[in-house]
Each structure stands twice: as C-alpha cells, then as structure tokens.
Amino acid sequence: MIFCCRRPIFHKEGDCVDIAKELLAGNRLALSRAITAIENEYDDAAEIMKKIYPHTGRAYVLGITGPPGAGKSTLTDRLAHEYRKQGKTVGIIAVDPTSPFTGGAILGDRIRMNSLTLDEGVFIRSMGTRGSLGGLSHKTADAVKAMDAFGKDIIIVETVGVGQSEVDIVKAADTTMVVLIPGMGDDIQAIKAGILEIGDLFTINKSDLDGADKLVREINMMLDLDTFMTDWRPPIVKVVASRGDGIEELTEKVRTHREYIEGNGELNKRRTKRARDEMMDILNSRIGNYVKKKIVDTGRLDDLVNKMLNRETDPYTVAEELVGEMLKV
C-alpha cells in the first residue's frame, strides 16, 4: 500500500513511499514525516499508526517536567549523553508552549542539545502545544510510539509543567521526573499542588546554588504529608546539569524505579491504564468527528438549537433522539 504523504516529495522512483515500512526499516526521514503526519493529523497518520503499533511497547519512557528555567533541556541533554554512554539509543520529544495569540511558537529546547544532533543514536523532535486541549497528550503519545517502533531504547519527553495538558503528557511516561531549582521561593507552593504529586523522582538542578538543601527539606516535608504514598518514596537527587554532576546517579535512580515498577506489576498497570485511556480517547474523538460530520456540518445542529431556543424541544430529548438514530440503540 502506498501512503501519500503531505508533500508530494519524499518520493522514491516517482512514487510516494510507505512511511511506516521505511520507518520500521530505520529511515530517519520516515520517522520524522510520520511524526509530522501525527502532529498535523494527516489522513495517513492512522494508517501509519496501525502498521507500527505491533512494533511498539519496547522503549522505556521517561517524562521530565518542571517550571520554566529549571534547566530541563540541559538536563535532558546530559541524560541523553549518559544513556548513550551506556549503549542505549535515545529519542527526545521536547514540548514548548504555542502562543495562544498568534498560534506560533518558538521551540528553543534543541539549542541545549546541539551536541547530540550529529549522533545517529539520538533523534530529537520539538513540538508545540498548538493550543489543543486533550489532543496534545494523544499526539505526543503517538510520537513516542513512532520513536519506539523506530527502535529507540529510551524516550525522553520533556515539557514545561504549567498547564494540565503538559502534565498529562508526562503522566503518560513510565517514570516521571520533576525538576526543580533552588531559589524559587514561594513558587514551590504553587507548583506543589500541580506537579509534585506526579513525581516518581525529584531532581534538584543547579544544586550548587544557595538553598538547595532547603529545597530538599521542603520536598521531604511534602512527601511526608502525602498520605497516598505507596512503598515507593520518590528519591531526591541533587545535580548540576550544566557540569554533568550527578547525572549518572540520576540514571541509576531511574533504573531503580523501573525495576521497582516492573517487579511489582505497577508498570503493567500503568501501561494497561494508558492503553485503555488511549482507546477511549480515540473512540471519543472518532464519535465526535462522526457526530460533527452528520449534525454540525449539515446545519442540522443550528436548526435544533433554534428549536430549543423557541422551547419547542430540549437538549436532552434531542441528544436521546440523535444517539438513537446514529448508534441504533
């Protein structure tokens, strides 16, 4: 089967290539175009995903989040170097916010990872949040799958831990790392509620700055208060990413967490839940699209709304009728 990709190029001998096949064969451009198809919601994205899905589930996914300025990109860079040293291949997805006003984005995480660019064992992709609410985590998850099927051993997903959708992205990771830096003052109070609870481990970056120990104490105190705690107590690792200090220990801690969740079935539980959520998401979005096509695009919704406004009918009755009609229940 031939997939026609978005641009008429990426041809071989005059024909569009099979992106999924090429991706699975290790073609880097195919991987890149597959992610574009996912991001831009091209029609062939689903076809690509179908083909590569059987080859996924092998990579380990590490989520990195934290406030702006915590040095996440530098940390990601150093972690990738460390994993490369350990003989692993690495995929990186770096998510940056899209401007809600212009729809544009400056994706600047790569600049911290320039020394990885020419390493063939590393593939870095920057993504903008593009203002999509639920869609982002879905797209990121599919991009992770593309890198997984491509054969990356470790996939690092890095995002700013500010919005709910960004937090959702890292929740989809096997291990989630929260990065903080000393001297954020009261900020930690605000962050506490949002991302502290999702951390499987905490990294204190720039720990050569004053206040690193204070921050460790504060996190410990919050962990002490956490009543939902399983018998995994998130370790707190002090690093100075810019100098590479503490990075090896960090990968060691990630490994420990991985062994822990593999050993007690938690990883399976997480992945099962993720697969289920994903399935529901896709189903919901398909149904939504179908409804949109049948009701919205035909103008029928407007008629029904007018009837409702005239109190000729009500939304509950309409919904029941429509569902009955479309799903034949």
Partner 1 sequence: MSNEKIEAGLAKYNANVEKAIAKFPERGHLPEQRLYTPLDIAGENYAEEIGFPGMYPYTRGVQPTMYRGRFWTMRMYAGFSTAEESNKRYRYLIESGATGLSCAFDLPTQIGYDSTDAISEGEVGKVGVAIDSLADMEILFDQIDLGKVSTSMTINAPASVLLAMYIAVAEKQGVPSTELKGTIQNDILKEYAARGTYIFPPRPSMRLITNIFEYCSKNVPKWNTISISGYHIREAGSTASQEIAFTIADGIAYVEAAIKAGLNVDDFAGRLSFFWNAHNNVLEEVAKFRASRRVWAKVMKERFHAEKPKSQMLRVHTQTAGSMLTAQQPNNNIVRVALQTAAAVMGGTQSLHTNSRDEALALPTEESVMIALRTQQIVAYESGLADVIDPLAGSYYVEAMTDRIEKEAWDYIKKIDEMGGAVAAIEKGYIQKEIQDSAYKWQMDVENGARTIVGVNKFHIDEEPPKGLLKVDASVGEKQKAKVEAMKAKRDNEAVKNALADLKTACADENENLMPHILAAVKTYATLGEICGVMREVFGEYEAHVNL
Partner 2 sequence: MDKKIRVLVAKPGLDGHDRGAKVVARALRDAGFEVIYTGLRQTPEQIAEAALQEDVNVVAMSILSGAHPHLFPKVVNLVREKGMTDVLIIGGGVIPEGDIPALKEAGIAEVFTPGTPTSEVVKFINEHVKA
Q: Which residues bind partner 1 (CB under 8 A)?
A: 69, 74, 106, 108, 111-112, 242-243
Q: Looking at beta carbons only, is 36 or 313 nearer to partner 2?
A: 36
User: Residue 69 CB, nearest distance to partner 1 (Å)?
Assistant: 7
Residue 201 near residue 254, CB atoms below 8 Å: yes
105 binds, among partner 2, partner 1, none (CB under 5 to 8 A by kind): partner 2
Residue 69 contact, options partner 2, partner 1, none, Cβ 5-8 Å cut-off depending on partner type: partner 1
- The residue among 69 and 315 lying less far from partner 1, judged by its C-beta, is 69
Beta bridge partners of 160: 66
Cβ-proximal residues to 105 (8 Å cutoff; 6+ apart), any chain = 96, 97, 98, 99, 128, 129, 130
Distance (Å) of CA 326 to CA 282, 287, 303: 18, 10, 18
Q: Least CB distance from residue 117 to partner 2, whole Å?
A: 5
Nearer to partner 1, 217 or 243 (CB): 243
The least CB distance from residue 132 to partner 1, in Å, is 22
Tokens 């049948």, residue located: 294
Q: Choose the contact partner of 9 out of partner 1, partner 2, none; CB within 5 to 8 A by kind.
A: partner 2
Comparison of 30 and 160: residue with beta carbon closer to partner 1: 160
Q: How far, CA to CA in Å, does 235 sit from each of 62, 112, 250, 254? A: 15, 26, 10, 10
Q: Which amino acid is at 300?
A: R
Structure tokens at 10: 């990426």
Cα 305 to Cα 318: distance, rounded to the nearest angstrom: 9
C-alpha distances in Å from residue 14, one per residue of 17, 18, 19, 213, 249: 9, 13, 15, 62, 51
For 150-200, the DSSP string reads: HT-SEEEEEEES-SHHHHHHHHTSSEEEEEE-TT-TTHHHHHHHHHGGG-S
Min. distance of Cβ 56 from partner 2 in angstroms?
20
Instruction: Name the CA radius of gyration of the chain, rounded.
Output: 22
To partner 2, the closest distance from the beta carbon of 103 in angstroms equals 4
**Residue 74 interacting entry, from partner 1, partner 2, none, C-beta within 5 to 8 Å by type:** partner 1
Tell me the two tokens of residue 26.
Answer: 């290790």
- The residues that touch partner 2, with contacts defined as CB under 8 A, are 6-10, 28-29, 32-33, 35-36, 39-42, 98-99, 102-108, 110-111, 114, 117-118, 123-126, 128, 130-132, 135
Q: Which is nearer to partner 1, 43 or 187 (CB)?
A: 187
With CB cut-offs between 5 and 8 Å by kind, which of partner 2, partner 1, none does residue 163 bind?
Answer: none
The CA distance from 153 to 159, in Å, is: 20
Residue nearer to partner 1 on the CB measure, 115 or 285: 115
242 binds, among partner 2, partner 1, none (CB under 5 to 8 A by kind): partner 1
Q: For partner 2, which is the closer residue by CB, 98 or 207? A: 98
